[in-house]
Amino acid sequence: MIRNPIPWPDGAQCACAITFDMDADSLIHIARPADSHDRLYPISMGRYGPLVAIPRILATYRRLGLKQSFFIPAWCLERYPEAVEAILSDGHEIGHHGLIHEDPVETRGAAQREAFEKALAIHEKIIGRKPKGYRAPVYNVTQQVIDLLVEHRFSYDSSLMADDVPYLMKMPKGDLWEMPVHWGTDDWPPFAHYAEIDYMMPVRAPSDGLKGFWEEFEAHYEAGGFFIMVVHPFLTGRLARWREVEKWLESVLHERKVWFAPLGTIHDHVARLHAAGTWNPRIEPLPYFGGPVTV
Ligand SMILES: [Zn+2]
């Protein structure tokens, strides 16, 4: 059970968000900057995302009438304009996902503020508005990043794991909603094999790798919860894996009472309920352990 299940719109029993992090080849450039330009295999593996998987994913969403969320590093916004334009023209949400997928834990202090704000400026220039949401590369949020999100009036973060359903983080500097994630519905463990960034997993068959996701969905459906997938075009957008996701989508849309929406829209719903006093989120006070004081 969930102690404070959220009343979802139109009597839906579960909110669902498939969130894609379109990292493309930013991963190899941040990991191996000295010679990444000449590592053709990881570049090609990343490029599959915006060039092949994104058109496939968007075609499915158009056919099924879904709007969803994509988190994209600013470096990728600049290098893959056709994918970005296609995502936007279909009415999906794009969130902040770092400058070139730098790990916030490795980029503390002035360098973090500089990267965060540079990415934000690129986002605003290309997309024409500020993002509502943020997801940290490798989920590695620091208190400094949370404070930057509050300072720049973001609506939500989607990198942390302290509850099953959206919750509210309260800091001295302000509040921020969390749209929580977890590793059980992330596609790196079942599908990523990437020796250059020291991530080597035994790649599982599509139906086998996604089975755990669908079990997570069933538990959320039963409890009136919030089912979120954190997936990547170059992993889950591959032909056979996306075919499995498509089959699952067709089945739940047909047989279940589900509400698929971008995270920004789910955020607006829960924030409205909270403001009206009809539902109360669990409060998570930050910073943890009283610190650190950030720049
Ligand atoms: Zn990422």
**What pLDDT does residue 28 have?**
94
In contact, 20 and 95? CB cutoff 8 Å: no
Interval between CA 159 and ligand 1 midpoint (Å): 10
> What does the pLDDT average to over 40-63?
98
| pLDDT at 58 > cutoff 80 | yes
> What does the pLDDT average to over 116-145?
97
Say how far apart CA 221 and CA 15 lie, in whole Å: 8
Interval between CA 23 and ligand 1 midpoint (Å): 5
Interval between CA 11 and ligand 1 midpoint (Å): 33
Greater confidence, 268 or 292? 268
In contact, 6 and 270? CB cutoff 8 Å: yes
pLDDT interval class at 232 (50, 70, 90): very high
Interval between CA 280 and ligand 1 midpoint (Å): 31
Residue carrying the six token digits 């610190």: 291
User: Which of 25, 37, 177, 210 minimizes the C-alpha distance to 95?
Assistant: 177
Interval between CA 188 and ligand 1 midpoint (Å): 10
| pLDDT at 294 > cutoff 80 | no
Say how far apart CA 55 and CA 87 lie, in whole Å: 9
Cα dihedral across residues 54, 190, 21, 153: positive or negative: positive
Interval between CA 254 and ligand 1 midpoint (Å): 31
Interval between CA 139 and ligand 1 midpoint (Å): 8
Interval between CA 256 and ligand 1 midpoint (Å): 30
Say how far apart CA 213 and CA 292 lie, in whole Å: 35
pLDDT interval class at 293 (50, 70, 90): low
109-118, 153-162, 194-203, range with the lowest pLDDT? 194-203
pLDDT tens for residues 84-124? Answer: 999 999 999 999 999 999 999 999 999 999 999 999 999 99
Q: Please give the model's pTM, rounded to 2 decimal places.
A: 0.97
Interval between CA 27 and ligand 1 midpoint (Å): 8
Interval between CA 20 and ligand 1 midpoint (Å): 9
| pLDDT at 167 > cutoff 60 | yes
pLDDT interval class at 223 (50, 70, 90): very high
**What pLDDT does residue 290 have?**
82
Query: 139 phi and psi, to 5 degrees?
Result: 65, 10
**What pLDDT does residue 140 have?**
96
Residue 291 CA, distance from chain mean position: 26
Can you read off the two tokens belonging to residue 260?
A: 């698929």
Can you read off the two tokens belonging to residue 240?
A: 């056979």
| pLDDT at 273 > cutoff 80 | yes
pLDDT interval class at 150 (50, 70, 90): very high
% pLDDT > 90, the chain: 95
Interval between CA 101 and ligand 1 midpoint (Å): 6
pLDDT interval class at 291 (50, 70, 90): confident
% pLDDT > 70, the chain: 99
| pLDDT at 295 > cutoff 90 | no
In contact, 201 and 189? CB cutoff 8 Å: yes
